[in-house]
Structure 1
Amino acid sequence: MAKLTKKLKEAAGKIDSNKMYNLEEASALVKEVNIAKFDASVDIAVRLGVDPRKANQMVRGVVSLPHGTGKDVKVLALVTPDKEAEATAAGADYVGLDEYLQKIKDGWTDVDVIVTMPAVMGKLGPLGRVLGPRGLMPNPKSGTVTMDIGKAVAEVKAGKIDFKVDKYGIIHAGIGKVSFDAQQIKENASELLSTLMKLKPTAAKGIYVKSINMSSTMSPGISIDTKSAN
């Protein structure tokens, strides 16, 4: 087992492992136990009582965090020439079509989100092996395949994120930075959790939210009372 550093021991000592913190307490504590020398990300992990192997228990959605993610999200808009000005005005970092499709074929994936139009999706199909594993394939359900390109780009830049339960039944999401104040972290977390509650599959039986854990990059995790999700 890896030895804990002095700073990590000090941080862990501030967390009561026998306590379930409420959302407000955890949002303040995650700032206090941060040991990174950079503006660390604040992450939340929610274990759900679903079986993601079953299509009718898959949980996937989008949420617009009220205070954004704190990240400068790089957006590629794959659009036809008539939509280029709209995408650029909304703040897309890269705008175009065929030249970027070729770059992706050549291995370029230096973006966080790709927004495109329904008519372009046919050209993206062959790139699924490159984009899929990186979570970059646009999807109508996440609002990244649309004719309203300007709105889609603006929402992503402002803090709209998509999430999907992994094979272990856990939702992982970045909800801000430790430089946010505790209230901002709490409100972002609360928005994600309330969105998750609305997405409970009817086929899922028993306890839906089994556990919630909040942490920052390199910091110990903080257990949150699951009633905070209600």
Structure 2
Amino acid sequence: MPKRGKKYIESAKLVDREKLYDASEALELVQKTSTTKFDSTVELAVRLGVDPRHADQQVRGTVVLPHGTGKTKKVLVLAKADKIQEALDAGADYAGGEDYVEKIQKENWFGFDVMIATPDMMGVVGKIGRVLGPKGLMPNPKSGTVTFDVAKAVEETKAGKVEYRVDKAAIINVPIGKVSFGAEKLQDNFNVLVSAIIKAKPASAKGRYLKSVTIATTMGPGIRINGQKLMEQ
């Protein structure tokens, strides 16, 4: 186990590891356990009772957090003709066609957090699929990043749209904001995200769905939340 610093040990004392907290209590506590000098991100980790190896037990979707994540995402739009201007007018940081694909190929350029592409550009995007995939940057219709409505996609991304997706270990990790947001705003974001995850429960998932729900700040201790209570709300 990594050696923990003094601040971490002190903040960990505030958390009862055996207890399952109510969400509101946990979100108050998560701010007290933040030990960094910078404005820490609050992360939500949900372990689900699904088997991600089965296609019918994939849990994935997007949601716009009411207060955003505290990080402004840089957006690259790959499109043709008038759609390029539409993307820039909507607030895209970069918009263009094959020139950007070439830039990524030749210069290994990744000066963006989200890539949005129109369907007629996916053939070109496929050329760099091998480098986009591992970085989680490949546009996908399920996450709303393959669309002709580029203005809406850019606006939603800038407004705080996040993607949640179960990984191989059946865990979803998503940031829900910054410590500076305060408990109320974090609670709003938490509620919207957890509701979306519960609604996305696959019909084929058996047994307990929310196996564990934990929130933590960057470098802070994990605080466990009562998942059963969330399912009943």
TM-score, normalising length: structure 1: 0.97
Map 1:1-230; keep pairs closer than 5 Å: 1-106=1-106, 107-226=108-227, 227-229=229-231, 230=233
- Matched positions, count: 230
* Preserved contact between residue 98 and residue 124 of structure 2 (Cα < 8 Å): no
- Aligned equivalents of 1:94 and 1:187: distance in 2? 31
Q: Report the Cα offset of residue 38 of structure 1.
A: 0.7
Q: Report the Cα offset of residue 163 of structure 1.
A: 1.5
The 4+ residue runs of structure 1 with deviation greater than 6 A are: none
Aligned-CA RMSD value: 1.0
- Aligned equivalents of 1:94 and 1:211: distance in 2? 39
Q: Report the Cα offset of residue 3 of structure 1.
A: 2.7
AA of the residue aligned to 1:122:
G
Q: Report the Cα offset of residue 189 of structure 1.
A: 0.8
- Aligned equivalents of 1:125 and 1:99: distance in 2? 14
- Aligned equivalents of 2:138 and 2:92: distance in 1? 16
Q: Deviations over 1:149-207 (max 9, x none)?
A: 00000000000111110000000101111110111111101111000111111111111
AA of the residue aligned to 2:168:
K
Q: Report the Cα offset of residue 124 of structure 1.
A: 0.7
AA of the residue aligned to 1:140:
P
- Aligned equivalents of 2:26 and 2:178: distance in 1? 14
Q: Report the Cα offset of residue 4 of structure 1.
A: 2.1
AA of the residue aligned to 2:173:
H
TM-score, normalising length: structure 2: 0.96
- Aligned equivalents of 1:178 and 1:88: distance in 2? 31
Report which stretch shifted further, 86-95 or 165-174. 86-95
- Aligned equivalents of 1:43 and 1:103: distance in 2? 33
Q: Report the Cα offset of residue 16 of structure 1.
A: 1.1
- Aligned equivalents of 2:49 and 2:91: distance in 1? 38
Q: Report the Cα offset of residue 81 of structure 1.
A: 2.1
Instruction: Give percent identity, aligned residues only.
Output: 53
AA of the residue aligned to 1:66:
P
- Aligned equivalents of 2:19 and 2:206: distance in 1? 27
AA of the residue aligned to 2:48:
L
Report which stretch shifted further, 66-75 or 104-113. 104-113
SS at match of 2:112: coil
Segments of 5+ residues of structure 1 without an aligned counterpart are: none
- Aligned equivalents of 2:111 and 2:169: distance in 1? 28
SS at match of 1:179: helix
Q: Deviations over 1:65-113 (max 9, x none)?
A: 0100100101001111211221111111111111111011121122110
